[in-house]
Amino acid sequence: MTLYADGKNFSADSQLVKLLVGLLRKDIYVAIVTAAGYAGQPERYEHRLSGLLEGFKKADIPPEKLEKFYVLGGECNYLFKYDSKLHRLVSVPNDDYQSLQVKAWNSDKIALNAFLDVAYENIKDCSIQMGLADQITIIRKELALGIVPLEGVTLSRECLDEFALSTQRVLKNYRLVQERSNPKSPNIPFCAFNGGSDVWVDIGNKLIGVQLLQEYLQANGHETLHVGDQVSFVFTHA
């Protein structure tokens, strides 16, 4: 399920506010795993989740229960925890929750940049082939690459799918070539997806994100419930 409409923020009158507060009240960890990647910018997530955080302020819940709320952004790259005293999200250091595998490919900036370069070139070529080069903006982040239509432009589902699927194919082929030519090269995981009105290519994926949370929160598979697609929850008993 999706927390809010495409391009919107979490509404304070959403029925999900009461449901998520109810889970926290029962001593259950709640984590939102999202593709939105804002490195070192918890305020960006606070803005997107403003209605939910407002619900936390109004809820009659002990602080230690509220602090069982987490946000994992960029698929699996940026972890934040709710601070009940500040009523804000605060960053969790990478060393506290990232696995050795994640740290390995995150530390190889040359390989990461080369990987995103391949994605960029394919997206650029794809936009030219479809006659959309003057209708989109390509946004490059530390661990992601996105295609956003210009104001007033609506991209069809077929065009968005073509961007995502062609980039996925090109990156898989690139990764195979790299593995054959240099077995020691990092096996960089990624996901390329149609976001409804845009397309994003992220380093990492939600599967890795859920696994990191399970390890960090010491939750077994039978204690975890994952719900959703583009935005996800992880529920685990304390």
What mean pLDDT, rounded, does the chain reach? Answer: 87
In sequence order, what are the residues at sequence separation of 6 or more whose Cβ sits closer than 8 angstroms to the Cβ of residue 17? 10, 51, 52, 55
103 pLDDT exceeds 50?
A: yes
Q: What is the pLDDT of residue 9?
A: 66
Q: What is the pLDDT of residue 156?
A: 94
Q: Which of 114-123, 183-192, 198-207 shows the lowest mean pLDDT across its residues?
A: 183-192
Q: Model pTM?
A: 0.84
pLDDT in tens, 37-73: 888 889 998 888 888 888 888 888 888 898 999 999 9
Torsion of CA 25, 27, 31, 32, to 10 degrees: -20
Coil, helix or strand for 106? Answer: helix
**Average pLDDT of span 189-208:** 91
- For residues 210 and 67, what is the distance between their CA atoms, to the nearest angstrom? 18
Torsion of CA 7, 212, 189, 5, to 10 degrees: -10
